[in-house]
Structure formats: C-alpha cells, structure tokens
Amino acid sequence: MTESEKPTPPTRICLIEDHADFREALREALESTDRFEICATLSNAEDALEYLKDSAAPDVLILDLGLPGMDGIDAIPLIRKAAPGTTVLVLTVFDNKARVFQALGAGASGYLIKSDGLQAIVQGIVDACHGISPLSAEIAKMVFDTFSSFKPASPEIELSEREAEVLKQLADGLSRQEVADVLFVSKHTVSTHIRNIYEKLQVHNVSGAISKASSMGII
C-alpha cells in the first residue's frame, strides 16, 4: 500500500459534557462513521485538565460551558495551554452575547448551540477538521451585527467579489452548504474561498473574518 492509499486516521475527540444522556447521544452520532474516534468522555473541566496531563492531546475538544465546578470559559485558556495543538469547540445552551465573546476571546475556535441538533453539530465538527471554525447561525449573525455597528475604516485588503459574497452570506448566518446552494457552487468551492479569505485577512475563524472585514468596510 502506498502512502497515498493509506486510510486517513480518525479525528480524535474529547467530549466534556456533564449531561450523560446528551454526551452519550453525541458520542454515538460521532462514532457512527469512521471519521471520528472518541478518546475520552468527561463530565467536568478539572477531570479534562488531569486527562490532558497524562494522555496524548486530542485533535478536537468539545466543551460545554455550564459545567459543575470550573466554568467552561475559565477552562478554555488552561486547556489551550495544556494542549496547544487541540482545537477547542464550545457546545452549549448559552447564546447570550457576553458568553459568546468571552468564549471566543478565551481561545475557542468555534461556538455551537445544542438546540441546533446533532446533525448540525456533527457538521460543525467536520468543518473544524477542515480548518473552518464553526459558528451556529444565530451566533454568526450576533457577531456580525455587533461589529457592523462600528464605523468602518478604509479597506486596505481587497477580497474578490465572490469572496466578499461568501463572507457576507456567512455573516448572515448561512451554513457552508447553504452558501454553496445560494451561489450555485460546491461546498468544496466555498471552503476554498473561506481559506483564501482567512489568508488575506490573516484570521483563523469565521468570527474573526467577519469582524475584520466589517471594521474595514469590506462587507
């Protein structure tokens, strides 16, 4: 078997969720394909930090915010320090502005809402594995609305017309698939545009791209 023929190893995921039923349902959804491997399921941040001391860091860590003991937001920078190569995704019921911006500011790479349903949550995790930082639609709109209230500066970076169009659709809360449908292109094409946007704006997630493009008057 050549190197190119070797199967891609599954993405290793650590779940930190105190509600056992939801944790089990999400674990089963993720393990229903060979894309993911659940390396740990934990109910609080303290146990997660202990786990990271003694075990290989996961590729993705999915973190609830309303945990017993240490709050999820307080745990994010500690997790990032313990496992700097791990992508931290928030998955919670909280959708208020303060919690969203605190989590993103603490270093979360994405913010998903439990009420979006397992299918949307799993798609968000898949997006994260492809370098796209996922935000629930309502969270993306909140971020855009917040930053669009600031007076835009003169743009110094130019996005192509299609790149700006993709970013505007994302800012309006559309998913990657919905953007593809609106623009009559493939999801792969949308992902390529998003990667180009990140490179041009020198950001690492959708919220950062929306924030910077809005402040520069690009969208």
Query: What is the bridge-based pairing of β-strands 60-63 and 36-42?
Result: unpaired
Whether residue 108 sits in one domain with residue 11: yes
Q: Of 73, 106, 134, which marks where a domain is finished?
A: 134
Overall pTM surpassing 0.85 (yes/no) = no
Report the C-alpha gap between 148 and 152 in whole angstroms. Answer: 8
Helix, coil or strand: residue 56: coil
Helix, coil or strand: residue 41: strand
Rg (CA), the chain: 18
Whether residue 85 sits in one domain with residue 33: yes
- The structural domain count of the chain equals 2
- The domain containing residue 8 runs over which residues? 3-134
Q: Of 81, 104, 134, which marks where a domain is finished?
A: 134
Report the C-alpha gap between 204 and 67 in whole angstroms. Answer: 27
pLDDT recorded at residue 154: 46
Whether residue 30 sits in one domain with residue 97: yes
Report the candidate in 207, 210, 196 with the shortest Cα–Cα distance to residue 159: 196
* Residue 74's CATH number: 3.40.50.2300
Q: Of 134, 167, 202, which marks where a domain is finished?
A: 134
- How do residues 119-178 score in pLDDT, each as one tens digit? 999 999 988 888 888 999 888 888 888 776 655 444 557 889 999 999 999 988 888 899
* 76 Cβ contact list (under 8 Å, min separation 6): 63, 88, 90, 103, 106, 107, 108
Residue 69 in contact with residue 45, Cβ under 8 Å? yes
Per-residue pLDDT at 2 exceeds 70: no
Per-residue pLDDT at 7 exceeds 70: no
